[in-house]
Amino acid sequence: MPRALGKSNAHFRRAVQRLPLGVSSNFRYWGDEATVYVKHGRGARVWDLDDNVYIDYRLGYGPVILGHCHPEVDAAARTGQTVGTVFALGTERELAVADLIHEMVPAAELVRFSNSGTEAVMAALRLARGATGKDGYVIFEGSYHGLFDAVMWMADVESLQSIDDEPDMIAYGKGIPGLTRQLFWQARYNDANRLEELLRQNRDKIAAVLIEPILGNCCGIPSMPEFVRAVRELCTKYDVLMIVDEVKTGFRVAKGGAQAHYGVTGDICTMAKAMANGYPIAAIGGREEVMRHYGQDVAHGGTYTAQAMSLAAAEKTLTILRDTTVLADIATYGEAMQAGMHKILAARGIAHSFTGHPSMGGLFFRETPPKNYREWKLSDYSFYDTLARHLIERGVMCEPDSREPWFISAAHDQSCLDQTLAGFEEAVDVTVQELGKAGKRAAG
C-alpha cells in the first residue's frame, strides 16, 4: 500500500513560499510530492510528518554513527551546554578532544577545529597553500570536498563517448567564478601513472593533492591499496602535500579512519561527520611543521568553532568508538546486509556487486564494481534509481541517488536487517516488473 505523504506535501506547499525548494539544502528536495519532512528520529529509524517509519541508511550522509538521539552522547551534549554557548575564547575540552583525535589518528599531530566538513577542507587547502607558497591543487574525478567554489568543478562526463576521452571541466552550477578553474587539475581516480605525469609537469605550481580514500559521493568506490600508497609516494617525491579528506571515512571505516585502514599518513587530514554523532563539528589535523603555520602566517578561525556542546558530544562519541566494538559491529551488520542482498539478487540472475566499506558501501548493478567515476557514469544505473524509490516506499530509507553509499550505524539491529531484506526482495521484484526486464538484463 503506498505511503501517505499528505502532511509532508502540505508542509512543502507552505515551505516553498519561504524556502527555495521548500528546504535548506538542494539535496533534500526530492520533488514537489515526494519531499519528506522528519518528525523525529530514534536509533536506526526516522518518522516523517505522516508517521511513516523508515530504517535509515542515509544517517544525514553519515554522521549518525551511533544512532539517532543516542542517550550518552545527548547527555554529554547537555552537560556541554552548561559551559555556555560561545565566548571567542578557548575551553579545556578543546585539548581533551584534540588528544583523543591524535590518539586515534596519529597523523593529526596538531589539531584545529571547524564547524563542518566544507569548512575543514577549505581551511586545509588554505593551509597547504600557505605552507608551500603555491596556489594550485589536484582533485580526482568523482570526488566531493564540500560546497565551496575552489572544488565545485567536475569532468563533463555527459559528453564522454568512451572511457579514455578527455572531457572539459564544468562548474557544478552558476555562481562559481571561472577564475577558480585556473587553480586546479583533475586526475583520474585509481590511476597513479596519470597523476605522476601531472605532478612531474606542474610540481612548481601545485601545493596539494586532495584525495578521498573512498569516494563518499560516488558509490563508495575505494582507492586501490596500491593507488593510495602511490599517491603518498608521489606527493613526497614531487614536494606536494597530501590532504586526506576523511570527512566521511574518519572514525567510520576504522578507529583511525581510512589512513589506518590503508596504512598511509597524510600531511594534512580532515574529519567531520562521524566524530560527534551528528552534532556540528569538524577537525583539521596534520604534521606539526605544517600545522604550525596556523597562527604564524595562515589565518584560521570562526565564531562557532569548538563550541562547547559539540565538543562534549565529540568527546563522548570518540570515546565510545575507541573503547567499544561498535565499529566492528557496524561492519558485521553491513556484511550481513550485503550477503542478504546478494542472495536475493543472485536468485533472480541480476548482475550486481558492492563497493566501498561495509559501513558505507555502494550497491552497483554490474558483475564487477566500478574503479572510478567514469565507469559508474558510463554504466546503466537506472535499475538502482528505480529500486531506491520502491525501497523508500517500503520503509527502507536509502539515498535516491545511486552515487550515495548506504551508511550503517550501531543502532541497526536484527529487526532492521530482517525488515530491510524483506523490503528489498519486494522492491527488486517490483523494479524488474516495472522496467520490463528480467534476469541478467535487468542490470545491464
**223-269 pLDDT, tens digit each:** 999 999 999 999 999 999 999 999 999 999 999 999 999 999 999 99
Domain ranges of the chain: 36-68+325-443, 71-323
Closest listed residue to residue 245, CA positions, set 132, 358, 150: 150
Task: Judge whether residue 355 has pLDDT over 70.
Answer: yes
Rounded to whole angstroms, how far apart are CA atoms 407 and 362? 9
Give per-residue burial for 20-36: e unless 16+ CB within 10 Å, then b.
ebbbeeeeebbeeeebb
Cβ–Cβ under 8 Å, residues 391 and 420: no
The gap from C-alpha 431 to its chain's centroid, in whole angstroms, comes to 27
- Annotated active-site residue 343? The verdict is no
Residue with cell 544512532: 67
Domain 36-68+325-443 has CATH 3.40.50.300: no
Closest listed residue to residue 356, CA positions, set 401, 403, 405: 405
- Annotated active-site residue 144? The verdict is yes
The stretch 159-168 carries a mean pLDDT of 71
Closest listed residue to residue 387, CA positions, set 116, 20, 150, 57: 57
Task: Judge whether residue 72 has pLDDT over 60.
Answer: yes
**309-334 pLDDT, tens digit each:** 999 999 999 999 999 999 999 999 99
Q: Which of 144, 189, 238, 333 is catalytic?
A: 144
Q: Which of 134, 248, 255, 273 is catalytic?
A: 273
Q: What is the pTM of this model?
A: 0.94
- Annotated active-site residue 245? The verdict is yes
Question: What class does CATH assign to 71-323?
Answer: alpha beta
Q: Which of 48, 56, 245, 267 is catalytic?
A: 245
The stretch 190-214 carries a mean pLDDT of 97
> What length is written for the chain?
444
**75-110 pLDDT, tens digit each:** 999 999 999 999 999 999 999 999 999 999 999 999
pLDDT of residue 441: 41
Cβ–Cβ under 8 Å, residues 211 and 231: yes
- Bridge partners for 138 per DSSP: 185, 209
**1-22 pLDDT, tens digit each:** 678 999 999 999 999 999 999 9
Cβ–Cβ under 8 Å, residues 262 and 213: yes
pLDDT of residue 440: 43
Closest listed residue to residue 278, CA positions, set 67, 24, 36: 67
Q: Across all residues in the chain, what is the average pLDDT?
A: 94
Domains 36-68+325-443 and 71-323 share a fold: no
